[in-house]
Amino acid sequence: MRWQSRNWTRKQVEKISKPIRADKSKMSEKLTADVDAWAEAHGMVRSDAIRQLIELGLSTAPSAAFLGLIGRDPVEIKDLAVKQISQLLDPSLPVEERERRIRRLTEGPPEFSDERIDLPNLKKRVEAGASVGLD
């Protein structure tokens, strides 16, 4: 092997043989306390608890609620949102105000409508090659 024929200094060998460590991540105090409590309850140290919690999280299948929204018709999703918002709004509000609030929550404030690329008007401008303010 090529590296064996070279005369290595002790410092070079130590540098190569050191294990590569992952970058340290910052956790909030509450999250650290929660991880420590979980580690203590399971009789392990923090690093092992973090590793095991990550493995558990990655092995868990996505939630059914999330999977239910994938592939759904956007109109159907908007109708569900309107239904939920209607249930939360004060029933004593006038009909016009209820409709205004629902429209503002589902479509966004009018001052940002020029920035949305999911609206039909803007899609046509993008397809035509016009600038959409992404400069």
The pLDDT value recorded for residue 39 is: 93
Q: Structure tokens of 56?
A: 């558990």
Report the alpha-carbon distance of residue 26 to residue 66 in Å, rounded: 28
Q: Among candidates 100, 113, 107, 57, which has minimal Cα distance to 78?
A: 107
The pLDDT value recorded for residue 110 is: 74
Domain boundaries, the chain: 28-61, 72-127
The pLDDT value recorded for residue 135 is: 40
pLDDT digits (tens, 9 = 90+) for 33-71: 999 999 999 999 998 999 999 888 888 766 656 666 566
- pTM exceeds cut of 0.85: no
Q: Cα dist. 125→33, 61, 87, 130 in Å?
A: 51, 40, 36, 5
- Report, as ranges of residue numbers, the positions in the chain whose pLDDT lies below 50: 1, 123, 132-135
